[in-house]
Amino acid sequence: MPNAESNSRSPSTTEKLISVTNLCCSRGERVLFNDLSFTANTGECVHIVGPNGTGKTTLLRTLCGLNGSDKGDIRWLGQPISLSDAFTHQAVYIGHKDALKNELTALQNLRFNQQLESIHDEDALENSLLRLKILACADLPVQALSFGQRRRLAFAKLLLYPKSVWILDEPFTGIDAHGRTLIENLCVRQLKDGGTIIMTHHRSLQETALRTYSKEVFIQPQESIL
Amino acid sequence: MNALLLNTLTLYFRREWQLMFRNTGTLVQPLVFFVIIALLFPFSLPVDLDLLEKIGGGVIWVSAVLATLLSLERMFHGDYLDGTLEQLLIHHRYLPLAVLGKVIAHWSATGLLLSLMSPFLCLAFNVPVEQIWVLFIGLMLGTPSLTLLGAIGAALTVTLHRGGVLIAIIILPLYIPVLIFGAGMLSQQVQGLEILSQIYTLAAILVLALTLAPFAIAAALKATIN
């Protein structure tokens, strides 16, 4: 059962926030990646790079606990994430799907996410929409929004509550240049505040505001079959 | 009960009702299906009031089972498609109680409404008033168990495009005890026998389902999404 007290632990100077060691994942009989190791610390943006089908999304889902791994381990402050309640309290995942209910309005969707964190702050809801420049969509049902607006709304959830780890799967897909800049700035703010980001993106981050914070982790295509 | 746990249950219950009111078709369909299936029998059988009286309770029970089954497929499938199911699985809120909130909301929109509708259907079968109460109590105790058991099947087939048939194959055998004791109450009543043992058995099945099914549903969802 969740234990709110476990949130209070903070990283020591030597301990990595997240460490992935010799991780191996497969889909069916195909090995996606093998012996993958990297660490992520506060203020770092880990950019997972690799061709299509090499398991970037699977890696993020494994980090979140949605998928299992064949071997290796993932640790949060030295503790396996499967045993760490603190990790589920501190991490937020935005995948390919926006996790929004079409029938509800933008505000209602955000309000539910806020309530899940036991927060009730109407001003914060409107402020998050304002920061993503979709305040005009506040009372529209999500099914009436464009793909880009839905993506912005998905990212507005990140502003509702402070989470130290953002796990983002292709965060800039379907978003125009202005929206991309907004999201980059959100990410930079998160990193400056001591947060951590692990993301996949098919293009380099060197031309973005994230370049000074990012470190790349390459996933090599595997030939082997289990 | 811990306030946060109770809040998890009520939060998901309220959200399900909010979604169902936005999509009234989901509320009406099982109810209309229930009425139509039950009414097909009086139309297709010889005009014999004694025969209708004898089979009425059983027909209404089978119609309730089929209507419950029809509604199961959408219990988690929409959440799977829009990504909210993934968020539910990785969130720190206690998963069995979150799914229990969803299941109770689902039952109140199907099983509860079917039970409330059943006295009116009894008129079409010439069922005596004293048996109408027996049928109503049986359905009120039996339909929550049907929904809880069915939710396990819905969780196991959540990723399938058309999982309805598979749910029926998995779940219908599990419905047989509920059907035997529910419909059995009516025949006992007709013969002037005590029906308390059937009521207690249905209540025991409900307590068992209420206690164990949320854990089974949560485990099934995790295993299926993995």
- Three-state SS string over chain B comes to CCHHHHHHHHHHHHHHHHHHHHCCHHHHHHHHHHHHHHHHHHHHCCCCHHHHHHHHHHHHHHHHHHHHHHHHCHHHHHHHHHCHHHHHHHCCCCHHHHHHHHHHHHHHHCHHHHHHHHHHHHHHCCCCHHHHHHHHHHHHHHHHHHHHHHHHHHHHCCCCCCCHHHHHHHHHHHHHHHHHHHHHHHHHHHCCCCCHHHHHHHHHHHHHHHHHHHHHHHHHHHHHHC
What's the domain count of chain A? 1
Give contacts of A115 with chain B, Cβ < 8 Å. 11
CA angle B74, B166, A103 (to 5 degrees): 10
Q: Is A199 part of a structural domain of the chain?
A: yes
Please state at what angle helix A177-192 crosses helix A147-156, rounded to 10 degrees: 10
Q: How confident is the model at residue A201 (pLDDT cuts 50, 70, 90)?
A: confident
Note the Cα B163 to chain centre separation in Å: 17
d(CA B86, CA B82): 9
Segment 96-155 of chain B within 8 Å of chain A by CB: none
Q: How confident is the model at residue A3 (pLDDT cuts 50, 70, 90)?
A: very low
Residue of B nearest to A3 (CA): B92
Quote the percentage of chain B above a pLDDT of 70: 100
What's the domain count of chain B? 1
Q: How confident is the model at residue A9 (pLDDT cuts 50, 70, 90)?
A: very low
ipTM surpassing 0.90, yes or no? no
Q: Is A96 part of a structural domain of the chain?
A: yes
Sheet holding A214-218: strands in order across?
Answer: A91-94, A165-169, A196-200, A45-49, A214-218
Q: Is A187 part of a structural domain of the chain?
A: yes
Q: Chain B within 8 Å of A27 (Cβ-Cβ)?
A: no
Q: Is the pLDDT of residue A10 over 50?
A: no
Q: Is A91 part of a structural domain of the chain?
A: yes
What number of CA atoms fall less than 13 Å from residue A125's CA on the CB side?
19
Scanning the structure block, which residue is given the tokens 């025991």? Answer: B204
Nearest Cβ partner of B86 from A66, A108, A141? A66
Q: Do A97 and B7 touch (CB under 8 A)?
A: no
* CATH code of residue A195: 3.40.50.300
Structural domain of residue A210, as residue ranges?
15-101+162-218
Q: Is A69 part of a structural domain of the chain?
A: yes
Region B173-182 average pLDDT? 94
What does the pLDDT look like over A37-91, one tens digit per residue?
999 999 999 999 888 888 899 999 999 988 888 899 899 888 888 777 788 889 9
Structural domain of residue B100, as residue ranges?
3-225
Region A199-213 average pLDDT? 79
Q: Is A156 part of a structural domain of the chain?
A: no
Q: Is A128 part of a structural domain of the chain?
A: no
Q: Is the pLDDT of residue A8 over 50?
A: no
Quote the percentage of chain B above a pLDDT of 90: 69
Q: Pick from B2, B7, B92, B93 the residue to mutate for testing the A interface (most A CBs within 10 Å).
A: B92
- Tell me, what's the pLDDT at A224? 58
Region A123-147 average pLDDT? 94
What does the pLDDT look like over B4-36, one tens digit per residue?
889 999 999 999 999 998 988 888 999 999 999
Give contacts of A91 with chain B, Cβ < 8 Å. 90
CA distance A89 to chain B (A): 6
What does the pLDDT look like over B35-81, one tens digit per residue?
999 999 888 888 888 888 889 999 999 999 999 999 998 899 999 99
Q: How crowded is residue A160: how many other Cβ atoms within 10 Å of its Cβ?
A: 21
Q: How confident is the model at residue A188 (pLDDT cuts 50, 70, 90)?
A: very high
